[in-house]
Structure 1
Amino acid sequence: MVRFTVSEDGIWTVKFSVESHNHELAKLGDQHLLRSSRHITEENASVLKSMCEAGIRITYAFSYLSDEVGGVANLGFTKRDVYNYIQKEKIAKIESGDTDSLIELFKNRAAEDHLFAWDVQTDEEDRLVIFFWVDGLGRIDYDSFGDVIIFYTSYRLNKYNLGCATIIGVNNH
């Protein structure tokens, strides 16, 4: 085990080390299992993404790639690495498109429902921090009944460190 510190100048210094092993070293034939997903080449990544997007299960995509290179030992990554890589890709795709998807949804709803209203607020880094919408039926109900709800949501935050709450109610109809 080795622990490092990095100075503000980017200089790495060994802070602590333990030279003894608490496990057997990997056998020569098992060393490929120690490699991580950063060894998935761009070419393999492209093949994996396209196969998964086409609906091919990860296990079959992995088998295909290992057959192409003459076995798992020649791949340089494990099936778990592939699962982790695909999951990271999915999360990155979702997170990068969240705001755009939401705004596109709002625009489409506004085109279909002329009473639909929405607004968004972003921070200094152009990240979505507040969004609000109301559909036509909600606006009509408010005009008819005048109910207002105030709620506090900061006690629980989501993965973006934002409070999120849905309001579901039954009106006087």
Structure 2
Amino acid sequence: MLKQHRELSMSIRRTIENNEEAGIRPSKTYQSFVAATGGHRELNFIEKDVKNYITREVRNVSEQEDAKEFGKSRAAFEYFGDVISFDTTYNTNRYNLVCGSFVGVNHHGQSTLLGCSLMKNEEIESFKWLFQ
């Protein structure tokens, strides 16, 4: 099959994403499509397309989401407006930095990380600076 005739439909992409999230290997995902359609010839893509989609789209998005998460959290905070807690956990790393997390609740009742900090000390001035 020529490359220009191969494509992954939106439903195929969604299934690939769900299977990747569930830990199902690309080859098993492809084999499930083959079994569902009755053979390789019935599909308009090959196993390599599934692997490429995972590499280019699914894994790339997960890496980018780490950096974007605080932007989404900030938007959620602006929309919902309430911070539920600020928690400091003592000496969680070898550098003796205090990790503080701002956690809110979204409209689904799920905890959402709004932000976090690493502080060298727990003086009142440090907390004032952080909350601003």
Structure 1 residue 102 displacement after superposition:
9.4
Q: Provide the residue aligned with 1:78 in structure 2.
A: 46
Identity %, equivalent residues: 20
Match of 1:135 in 2: 119
Q: 2:60 aligns with which of 91, 95, 118?
A: 91
What's the Cα RMSD here? 3.6
Q: How far did 1:61 drift?
A: 0.7
How many residues were matched structurally?
88
Q: Which blocks of at least 5 consecutive residues in structure 1 are unaligned?
A: 1-31, 105-109, 119-132, 141-173
SS at match of 2:87: helix
> Are 1:60 and 2:44 counterparts?
no
Aligned to 1:45: 13
Tell me which residue corresponds to 1:16: none
The equivalences for 1:2-21 within 5 A come to none
Aligned counterparts of 1:71 and 1:44: Cα–Cα separation in 2: 16
Per-residue displacement from partner, 1:17-42 (whole Å, max 9, x unpaired)?
A: xxxxxxxxxxxxxxx2x236971011
Partners in 1 of 2:49 and 2:63 — Cα distance? 20
- Greater RCO, 1 or 2 (C-alpha within 8 Å, sep 6+): 2
- Offset at residue 84 of structure 1 (A): 0.9
Residue 78 (structure 1) shift: 1.2
- Counterpart of 1:111 in 2: which secondary structure? strand
Normalised to the residue count of structure 2, the TM-score between the two structures is 0.50
Asked whether 1:111 is paired with 2:87, we answer: yes
Could you tell me whether the CA contact under 8 Å between 1:37 and 1:81 is conserved in 2?
A: no
